[in-house]
Amino acid sequence: MNDAGRDLVGQLPAAALRRYCDPAGFQFASTAELPDPEHVLGQERAIAAIEFGADMGRDGYNLFVLGQTAAGKHNLVQHFLSERAAKEKPPSDWVYVNNFAQPHKPKAIELPTGRGAQFRDAMALMIDELRTAIPAIFDSEEYRARRNSIN
């Protein structure tokens, strides 16, 4: 650069290279006191694309999210979908039980939200009780007497 150009540009002091914010102007002691931002800054197109994909109310549609490693893609999508799911009616619980007529086609049973875990726990308790009760029946005197009467 020639001398004339250098004179036009000038030198900057180090203090002019950064912005100073007076801490007295803030109404919080730490950023931990601030609420989480509602949107990710600079990601309006990404949010619009996720919204578009999430609005597809039919099976067979998926979101494909592409970006640099450690760019926060997973967190962005998870945060968006979690907020959206919190506003919607929770889905039913589904359990599958054996179909004795057609064992290769289990029967699906729809339960109210949250009842699937209760059903699972009740089944586990019943199995534990049956593991004790069934052998006890076969060890009883009444069973032995009936079996001997048949023989």
The residue to which tokens 């197109």 are assigned: 45
What pTM was estimated for this model as a whole? 0.48
The answer to whether 36 and 62 have CB atoms below 8 angstroms apart is: no
Residues in CB range of 118: below 8 A, 6 or more apart: none
Binned at pLDDT 50, 70 and 90, residue 3 comes out as low
Cα 116 to its chain centre, rounded Å, is: 17
Whether 34 shows a pLDDT value over 60: the answer reads: yes
Please write the tens of the pLDDT for every residue from 77-136: 998 899 898 999 999 999 999 999 999 999 999 999 999 999 999 999 999 999 999 999
